[in-house]
Chain A
């Protein structure tokens, strides 16, 4: 290599090239090893998280299914869905009156 650069009066700190080499290797090779380790760890965390979320969803859906089967037929809104009737104020008042009357007067068997 040309030594002409010395004509320019440039200097470097003591042991600069050795220190710089270590720094370069630390930011490239060693850093990549760390990234690979972190990636392995994150894959594991991701797997655990996925299992957890799947379990939550499974439990929620099974509860939801039970709730869907146990819907309250005494609700005026659900009643309209079942009977295809339009929700109007009159309908709701009539519906609630019916419910009250049915609950008040139990017909003996």
Chain B
């Protein structure tokens, strides 16, 4: 279903609930994986996902269609992740440009994490990135979002995003190739 058609259904009070069901079907998994890569544990992801959908449900009438519906949804999910991480670290504002010291601890504490060699190598590299670098890499590489979309979601300049992504990608390729030898 096209976004325009879905929006029409969502913005009509008589069909809002049906539209919301469709929206959940359409984006649930995508948003889940985006959140999971940011907050790492399944349980926390589930909480953030719930909050994200509650915000979407409450705010859909106010959506002004200045961006794609999917971008708006990703942005809400991204903000919810930042809010969650801030609460988790008990900081008012999460440090996007610092490393997450608890990355490995959170990963291994989750029962829904099954480590293989490649996974471990990926996580080792990801844990060495700043939160901002990691988010950009995840959104581009795993979620296959466009640079313009990532820019709208994170509020970071598109050129900054491109340069950060290519640097990280180069580093990851190099390290994976080295470990495969």
- List the interface of chain A (C-beta within 8 A of B): 1-2, 4-5, 7-13, 16-17, 20-21, 23-25, 27-29, 32
Which residues of A have CB within 8 Å of B113? 9-11
- Taking the closest CB of chain B, its distance from the CB of A34, in whole angstroms, is 13
- Taking the closest CB of chain A, its distance from the CB of B100, in whole angstroms, is 15
- List the interface of chain B (C-beta within 8 A of A): 17, 20-21, 24-25, 28-30, 32-33, 36-37, 42, 46, 49-50, 53-54, 57, 112-116, 118-120, 122-123, 141-144
- The 10 A-B pairs with the shortest beta carbon distances in the complex, nearest first, are A9-B119, A28-B57, A11-B112, A24-B53, A29-B17, A4-B142, A2-B144, A9-B114, A5-B33, A9-B115
Q: Is the interface of A mostly helix, strand, loop or mixed?
A: helix
B24 touches A5 (CB 8 A): no
**A21-B112 contact in complex given A7-B119, A27-B54, A28-B54, C-beta closer than 8 Å:** no
Complex: how many Å from CA A2 to CA B37?
13
B114 touches A11 (CB 8 A): yes
Contact of A28 among B28, B33, B53 (CB under 8 A): B53
A24 touches B49 (CB 8 A): yes
B112 touches A29 (CB 8 A): no
A24 touches B28 (CB 8 A): yes
Which residues of A have CB within 8 Å of B50? 20, 23-24, 27
